[in-house]
Structure 1
Amino acid sequence: MPGVKENQLQEAVAFLQKTGSTGGNSVYEHLTKVVWKILQERPADAVDLLETSYLAKQTNFEAKQPTAPLLTQEQVEKSYSKAAAKLFGNPDVPTDSETGEPVESEAANEYECENVMGDAAMFDAVGAGLGRTEMYGIMLAVKQLGETPALGVATVRFFGKVLGTHADYYVFETTLKEPVEEEEEALGPNDVPMEKGSGSNGYVYFVCNQLGGPLSRLPSVKPTHIKKARQLKKFVTGKLDAPVSAYPPFPGTEAHFLRAQIARIAATTVLCPVGYFNAGEEGALEKAEEFTPQPAAEMGSAASWSHRYPHLKKQGRCALFVKEAEEGAEEKEPTEEESEAGPEALSTLDKDAEVAGGEGWSPVFSSSNQNVKFQVAGVRSNLWPGALAVTSGAAFSNIYVGWGIKNAPFVPMPPPPVATEYDQALVESKDLPVRPEPEAPPAEDAEAADE
């Protein structure tokens, strides 16, 4: 080390060799083991492993197996340091393993998204959202998701954050340039097919537990998932492959349950200012050519907001499905689910049902002084706590941050009926049955016996 005398270097080494913990290890021994471990395995992310070397200190490098790695692959992928480095660092340039030369990568995918940091400022003004720091990481995650060529994303919107018992889900709402290939459904005679590319499956959702971590695409939602989810009141764990332990049994894993909850929340709480969209043919929304924002004082009213997404009906679909009668069979009257008449497109919030005897939406403002310029106003859902819609001028945005629990009375489903008792005639008896009479032998056998 230049500029350091030999006696100073010896004193520094001696200081590092002093016992520095109750376990009897010194800083010198700990750093030696960390460097030796890195030299043995030569990982590509050596800096990340060095930053997480405190894990090695906790185990003293005394693994039961001498060849055990410092961290398992799953731990490395889920570590915050690696996710943050991937999110905030420069993208890795792929190289040829034989020549070591950089390989030309695919061009970044072109996509559209909302102004994430502008939305963060509006949420922050009303005291909601996730804060500027976390929203900056979300902005980078949106960029990462949208630019990935393999995903083929056309639009990206940050839906929100669903809290879990073990980990949380960051949810991103997207549309894809190519439709998702769906597997053929095995439907029973009374099953309802799911919507493809519209209605409850009009958007594709990606989730991750850490910003910058691996993204997972949620499966398409089926009507049976939505109908079963409405009968449950359950927290998510943060593990997509976890079973949903509940009664009545849920037909799928937590990934299907989370997707059903997102569909329910989105259909109820994603809003737009009145007049921003016009309902086109077949319920499609078209942006109005001329839109005049209302004063901020009026945007705290439920009558100033409309539902942007179609209503999710009891059938588990946005568009009703009525099974066609077979040829020659009599037409049956539609059931209650098949004849449900939902609200019209872009219905206003003042038509929503009450929640716990009160209004379904509460107003929020960035300031109690209505004369403040650049006022941010909006409404907060009382049915799905954590859902919020805000606007400032012509800009508006929606977000959900909550546990995925609906604010409604929960009545558990009753258990199935008890099996009926056996008929009294089938009860076991000690009486012996009547002995049957012996059968008479055939005539030929009888003549042979006489001879």
Structure 2
Amino acid sequence: MICDDDEEPQTEDNSSSNLPDTEKEVTAAKLFMQQCSSFTGDNLYDHLSEVLNKILSERPEDVVDFFEEYSRKVKEKRFKTKIDHLEDMFIPPEQYNRAYKIMPLFKKPDNLPESEEEILADMTRNDMLQLSYFFEQSGLGLPKNEMFALLLSMRKLIKTEPVASIRFWGKILGLYKNYFVLEADLKEEECVRRNEVYYVCNEIGDEWVQLPDVTPRQLRVARQIRKSFTGWLAQEILTYPNFPGNEGNYLRAQIARISAGTQISPLGFYTFKPGGGGGEEEEEEEEEAEGEEGEGPRMKTNCFENRRYEPPPTGDLLDNSMSFWVHHILHILPQGRTSWWNPNPKVDTGEEAEGEEEEDEEKQAAAGPEPEIGPPLLTPLSEDASLDAVPAWSVRISSNILPEYALVVVRSNLWPGAYCFTTQGKIFHNLYIGFGHKHVAQNFTPLPLPFVEQDYLIGPEIMEMTDPTGAEEEQWRIDHLPKLPPAEEGEEEGELEEEEEEY
């Protein structure tokens, strides 16, 4: 070994310190292999352990040729989810089903007669896009695309049903599905029992279903219950008192109640004479209203659009007294009808004298029910009763910046969701979007159940008595002993003679 004179030769201890430390090197290599990837979060040490474990468990031949394949399978197994998200069949999304329903509405019907083409052209007066614009200015309504699709659906309905006119009544919100409601006026040849009918559907594009007629009993019970709508017309109504019908009947009853309480119009828009009149026409109207002798005044049941209508100023329509707004739908009496019906009608015999007839009439009037009287037609909203210091109606203007172009919006506080707007008193429209329930100041409380009826009348036959004592039982036995029959006179004399002979 050659070295400089200045340097000292290395000893054997220094040469041994330069040897590699195997344990330290293995630990460093293991730590290096356990470094996790920033992309997958895995490390080489665990991956090699799993690959070797898989090879040793399967022990394939020529494993060196398939080592990369084993590594790929281990990675694939680690990053593959256990849930298979691939569907065996294609399920169209909800948007596709909705578009598929609306597509036929965009097609023009073929081979229509001229009369039907005129009817379809008349639907332009029911411009839902214009109503949508007014609704947006008022801060309510439905989206434009939904309003346009609704217009096409109404066009299809008026082509297939015998209706003279149709309008969008509103939307009833349900728990699972909603109801779109249309109000239609029947043609003259169809007006047998009613003038108006209502059609509903859950989604635009579905077939419109005509609601059944409402009965007075259904209206009376509907006032006593409160049931949320589900969206299925055939759903059973389980309430107390028992409602006579399903959800379709209950929906029709609520529509009648909402219409009777919230269908309003500006003062003067409707009149009791067709086309509006005055002078002799008003005198004839008053004579008809008086009725026959003894009948009293008759309730006017119809009103017509006034051709001489002059819109009131916007300031009057915004008056909080609501004197320039009127109801143009008849009020529903507590009996469930718009006009009083006597359940005990008078029977004419034709044989009694006039004096006796008058006495019978007085007795019937005293014993019979008192007729119910509601507010007459075209009654101002100022006469509506408030609910716990809350006014029945609220009025506002859509914009204070340009009041000459703004809309007057009236909102019902008794029926949340009922609105009416007017454009300077010229065009007005009533709309309802809500859950179909009347406002209650306190929490709704159903009627209490009736008292349980008694199966038997209370009497000594069913009452438990105290047991009698021994003395009472003996006295009762003595009192119920059979009495000896009295002996006859002949028998008594014969018995006396026999006794004397014996002595």
The TM-score, its normalising length taken from structure 1, stands at: 0.68
1:207 aligned partner: 200
Q: Which of 275, 285, 296 does residue 268 from structure 2 map onto?
A: 275
User: Does structure 1 residue 307 correspond to structure 2 residue 320?
Assistant: no
1:421, CA displacement in angstroms? 5.6
Q: Would the aligned equivalents of 1:320 and 1:338 in 2 still touch at CA under 8 Å?
A: no
User: Does structure 1 residue 123 correspond to structure 2 residue 135?
Assistant: yes
Report the 3-state secondary structure (helix = DSSP H, G, I; strand = E; otherwise coil) of the residue aligned with 2:395. strand
Structure 1 residues 242 and 289: alpha-carbon distance in aligned structure 2, compared to 1, 3 A threshold? same
Report the 3-state secondary structure (helix = DSSP H, G, I; strand = E; otherwise coil) of the residue aligned with 2:156. helix
Q: Would the aligned equivalents of 1:296 and 1:392 in 2 still touch at CA under 8 Å?
A: no
1:249 aligned partner: 242
2:152 aligned partner: 140
1:347, CA displacement in angstroms? 0.7
Report the 3-state secondary structure (helix = DSSP H, G, I; strand = E; otherwise coil) of the residue aligned with 2:421. strand
1:447 aligned partner: none
What are the residue-to-residue correspondences of 1:82-231 with 2, within 5 Å? 82-87=100-105, 89-90=106-107, 108=116, 110=119, 114-148=126-160, 151-177=161-187, 196-197=193-194, 202-231=195-224
Bigger mean CA offset, 248-257 vs 331-340: 331-340
Structure 1 residues 384 and 334: alpha-carbon distance in aligned structure 2, compared to 1, 3 A threshold? farther
1:319 aligned partner: 339
Counterpart CA distance in 1 for 2:328 and 2:391 is 19
1:261, CA displacement in angstroms? 0.3
Counterpart CA distance in 2 for 1:248 and 1:336 is 26
- Structure that is richer in helix per residue: 2
Counterpart CA distance in 2 for 1:23 and 1:334 is 80
Q: Would the aligned equivalents of 1:119 and 1:396 in 2 still touch at CA under 8 Å?
A: no
What are the residue-to-residue correspondences of 1:15-94 with 2, within 5 Å? 23-24=83-84, 52-53=91-92, 79-87=97-105, 89-90=106-107
What is the percent sequence identity of the aligned residues?
31
Counterpart CA distance in 2 for 1:335 and 1:215 is 48
Deviations 1:211-243 (A, max 9, x none): 111111001111001000000111111111111
Q: Would the aligned equivalents of 1:279 and 1:346 in 2 still touch at CA under 8 Å?
A: no
Counterpart CA distance in 2 for 1:259 and 1:171 is 10
The letter of the residue matching 2:166 is: V
1:180, CA displacement in angstroms? 5.6
Higher alpha-carbon Rg = 2
User: Does structure 1 residue 382 correspond to structure 2 residue 416?
Assistant: no
The letter of the residue matching 1:268 is: G
Q: Which of 272, 285, 305 does residue 303 from structure 2 map onto?
A: 285
The letter of the residue matching 2:214 is: V
1:133, CA displacement in angstroms? 2.7
Bigger mean CA offset, 285-294 vs 210-219: 285-294
The letter of the residue matching 2:186 is: L
Counterpart CA distance in 2 for 1:155 and 1:208 is 18
Q: Would the aligned equivalents of 2:175 and 2:231 in 1 still touch at CA under 8 Å?
A: yes
1:279, CA displacement in angstroms? 1.9
Gaps of 5+ in 1: 1-18, 35-51, 56-75, 94-103, 183-195, 438-451
Q: Would the aligned equivalents of 2:409 and 2:420 in 1 still touch at CA under 8 Å?
A: yes
Deviations 1:282-341 (A, max 9, x none): 432122122222233332331121101111111111111124223459442278975222
User: Does structure 1 residue 392 correspond to structure 2 residue 413?
Assistant: no
Aligned residues between the structures: 342
Report the 3-state secondary structure (helix = DSSP H, G, I; strand = E; otherwise coil) of the residue aligned with 1:373. helix
1:121, CA displacement in angstroms? 1.6
2:27 aligned partner: none
- Tell me how large the CA RMSD over aligned residues is: 3.2
Q: Would the aligned equivalents of 1:270 and 1:398 in 2 still touch at CA under 8 Å?
A: yes
Counterpart CA distance in 2 for 1:336 and 1:379 is 41
Structure 1 residues 147 and 417: alpha-carbon distance in aligned structure 2, compared to 1, 3 A threshold? same
Structure 1 residues 334 and 408: alpha-carbon distance in aligned structure 2, compared to 1, 3 A threshold? farther
Counterpart CA distance in 2 for 1:303 and 1:229 is 30
User: Does structure 1 residue 417 correspond to structure 2 residue 448?
Assistant: no
Deviations 1:104-124 (A, max 9, x none): 566637266633222222221
Deviations 1:68-98 (A, max 9, x none): xxxxxxxx9xx423322233x31576xxxxx
Report the 3-state secondary structure (helix = DSSP H, G, I; strand = E; otherwise coil) of the residue aligned with 1:219. coil
Counterpart CA distance in 2 for 1:134 and 1:54 is 19
1:141, CA displacement in angstroms? 2.0
Bigger mean CA offset, 387-396 vs 289-298: 289-298
Q: Would the aligned equivalents of 1:307 and 1:345 in 2 still touch at CA under 8 Å?
A: yes
Q: Would the aligned equivalents of 1:269 and 1:307 in 2 still touch at CA under 8 Å?
A: yes
1:53, CA displacement in angstroms? 3.2
1:382, CA displacement in angstroms? 0.2
Gaps of 5+ in 2: 1-78, 274-284, 286-299, 350-356, 468-476, 483-503
